[in-house]
Amino acid sequence: MNLTSMDSGELLRKALSGEKLFPDEAIALCENGELLDLAMAAREVARRLHPTGSVGYAVSKTVVYSNVCQPNCPFCTGTVTRDDPAAFTKSAGDVTAEVAEAVVAGATQITLQGGHRIDLPWEYYTGLVRTIHDRFPAMQIFAYSPTEIMVFNVAYQKSTREVIAELKAAGMGALLAGGAETMTTRIPEYRALLRGPWNEWFDVVHRCADADIPVVVPFVFGLGEPLKERVGHLYRTRAVQDRTLAAKKPAFVALTPFTLTGGVTGHEYLRVLALARVLVQNVPHVQASFVTQGAKVAQVALDGGADDLGGTHMEFAGAELAAGRTGAMTAAEMERLISEAGRIPQLRTAW
């Protein structure tokens, strides 16, 4: 079929009827679909999945346990190596002290974030998780990422299954499955440096599903990727979820479209979020991100397919809350945004 001849309205009706679009149809919809049409279809998908109108959010903080990474890492702003005077690696006590401050402020979710390194003992990583979990057992800990787990496999000669089992035993409660966005990036060196092949990323996700560890999958775009790669990422996500659903252990609890910079317009962000909701209907939740787009765009997304606002990210003190107003995202701000959108706020303590 000629891509240019495909009618977006007909494709959306097909998707809403429960049929899966072929990749060329999805690419055509991604290219030609109007925001309003996409948003209305995405809103219908979200309404079917969540008829009560509730919107989740978490009070969250990301704790950077080390700023040391591999040389030339494309995700670090001037990669810090071990011999750099600015390098730091926090102890379990230091990290737990940061978590304690977040708990006082109402945090329900912690994400541990660091670089890719092989010079620390395996017990350091499990110790961070265990120390936090022992002191704050109700805290949901997002511990590391698939790419870090890939590094652990090599550095400590452990299988993915072993790594995840030991992290779960220590208190790991969820996984933020970042990294997939650069497996098809324009720069081959990024793939070799950070991400490895898709099948290794898939293996981490499947092993988490086997261990009943919920996975949030970021859908990062705006890196110069062609539309077919955006669609490819979404279809891979959908395929993994289909396989794990068939095993009665769905991997993904949420899909989170976001950009790494503010270079994507709010209009394009809303189009892509709506498209993600329409194309990947087997993942129950879609999160809107305020980090690069601002709170108002995230709020509008609640009427265009999103049913979750993610975490407050205490580390972001300058979030764009409204025109001319910035500040720290708080639980009260989240609830205001959700209520003003005509939805029901629901604080998440865990997925």
Residues in the chain, total: 351
- Examine residue 302 and state whether it is found in any structural domain, yes or no: yes
Token representation of residue 236: 């891979």
CATH number for the domain spanning 181: value is 3.20.20.70
Do residues 283 and 241 touch, judged by C-beta distance below 8 A? yes
Q: What is the pLDDT of residues 210-260, one digit of tens each?
A: 999 999 999 988 877 888 888 998 999 999 999 999 999 999 999 999 887
Q: How far apart are CA 215 and CA 131, in angstroms?
A: 22
- Examine residue 254 and state whether it is found in any structural domain, yes or no: yes
Q: What is the residue type of 221?
A: F
Q: How many domains does the chain have?
A: 1
Would you say residue 76 has pLDDT above 70?
no
Cα–chain center distance at 40: 23
pTM above 0.85, yes or no: yes
Tell me which residue range forms the domain holding 147.
Answer: 54-268+281-347
- Examine residue 125 and state whether it is found in any structural domain, yes or no: yes
Q: What is the pLDDT of residues 170-204, one digit of tens each?
A: 999 999 987 654 444 444 444 443 444 678 888 99
- Examine residue 42 and state whether it is found in any structural domain, yes or no: no
Q: How far apart are CA 202 and CA 252, in angstroms?
A: 12
HEC letters along 187-238 = CHHHHHHHHCCHHHHHHHHHHHHHCCCCEEEEEECCCCCCHHHHHHHHHHHH
The per-residue pLDDT for 74 is 58
Q: How far apart are CA 219 and CA 10, in angstroms?
A: 25
- Examine residue 13 and state whether it is found in any structural domain, yes or no: no
- Examine residue 224 and state whether it is found in any structural domain, yes or no: yes
Would you say residue 337 has pLDDT above 60?
yes
- Examine residue 202 and state whether it is found in any structural domain, yes or no: yes
Do residues 176 and 145 touch, judged by C-beta distance below 8 A? yes
Pairing of strands 319-322, 325-327: antiparallel
Q: What is the residue type of 271?
A: R
What 3-state class would DSSP assign to 21? coil
The per-residue pLDDT for 194 is 42
Q: How far apart are CA 204 and CA 103, in angstroms?
A: 29
The per-residue pLDDT for 77 is 59
Q: Based on the number of CB atoms within 10 Å of its own CB, is 138 exposed (0-12), middle (13-18) or buried (19 or more)?
A: exposed
Cα–chain center distance at 160: 20
For residue 141, report the phi and psi dihedrals to the nearest 5 degrees. -105, 115
- Examine residue 7 and state whether it is found in any structural domain, yes or no: no
Q: Measure Cα distances from 54 to 38, 47, 57, 281 in Å.
A: 21, 10, 10, 18
Q: How far apart are CA 301 and CA 265, in angstroms?
A: 13
Do residues 257 and 272 touch, judged by C-beta distance below 8 A? yes
The per-residue pLDDT for 78 is 63
